[in-house]
Copies of this chain bind each other. A is one copy, B any other.
Amino acid sequence: MANSPSGESVISRVVRLMSAFDRDLPAMTLSGLARRAGLPLTTAHRLVDDLVLHGLIERLPDGNLCSGMRMWELAARGSRALNLRELALPFMEDVQAAVHQHTTLAVLDHGTVLYVERLSSPHSSLDAAHIAQRMPIHAASSGLVLLAFSPPAVQAEVLAKPLKAVTPETITGPALIRKHLAEIRQRGYVALPGIGVTEWTGIAVPVFGPGNSAAAALNAIVPRQEAAVPLIVPALLTAAHGISRALKSAQPEGQADFRNR
């Protein structure tokens, strides 16, 4: 099927092109796009013409290219991420109204934490945990709470791989992580300072879907010297209960869950 001389499929090359756009660089020239995608200019040119035709890439008035509204629409319409965040958003607003901090919702996906929603605190300088960003599971409170409430096989798979330190405080030893996971299961939440970004503490609780493992993690991110952590936990637990209830009634047992390894 439709492979280049290198044997790479059109789909693979399209993924490379679309991956070139991100939060920091949402628009670029064709040659910049080809370079970031690692594709020859002629190949990129041909594919981009077709992607523009379908609205997946758009040409801006200044001639730069950017990800198209059609691309977002195609992905959003059938998206479980969007369904999950639609159910969760009212409860996340409740949390933010109560604690005035960044509030995020994350899932496990392909061995990493993927943030599917975030409400930002307008006075916060945190530049992490943006929507559609990923973090290593062991370097995020959301990741640890999702792992703690994952099946043993998932835990074993994640902990079998070499774990890199993101900050000096990231926990990288599998045995120590297992100890933390047991504690998280017992307490029902995690609050570890500096494991992902030195200056911040993530406080995360599990959201359960119809199954027994966590469907998502609800997370507040606070400055690490914040004294209010004990007060934030009950707010998160309350909202997470609400989201779980909404998930279970929207998605009866036996149907696909939102989690994806």
Contact B76 A119 (CB under 8 A): no
Contact of A54 among B11, B75, B76 (CB under 8 A): B11
How many A residues have CB within 8 A of the partner chain? 68
Per-position 1/0 for A132-176, Cβ under 8 A of B = 111000000000000000000000000000000000000000000
Chain B residue, CB-CB nearest to A89: B119
Q: Are A23 and B132 in contact (CB under 8 A)?
A: no
- Report B-chain residues with C-beta under 8 Å of the C-beta of A77: 19, 21-23, 67, 132-133
Name the B residues within 8 Å of A26 (CB-CB).
Answer: 78-80, 83
Q: Which residues of B contact A58 (CB under 8 A)?
A: 260
Tell me the minimal C-beta distance from A236 to chain B in angstroms: 19
Chain A 62-87 interface mask (CB, 8 Å, partner B; 1/0) = 10101111111111111111110010
Q: What are 18 sample pairs from A and B whose C-beta atoms fall under 8 A apart? A: A1-B47, A1-B50, A11-B14, A11-B51, A11-B54, A15-B54, A22-B77, A23-B78, A26-B78, A26-B79, A55-B110, A61-B257, A62-B255, A66-B80, A68-B260, A74-B75, A77-B133, A90-B122
Given contacts A2-B10, A71-B75, 13 further A-B contacts (CB under 8 A): A1-B47, A11-B14, A11-B47, A27-B256, A62-B254, A67-B79, A68-B260, A69-B260, A70-B109, A72-B75, A72-B76, A77-B132, A90-B122
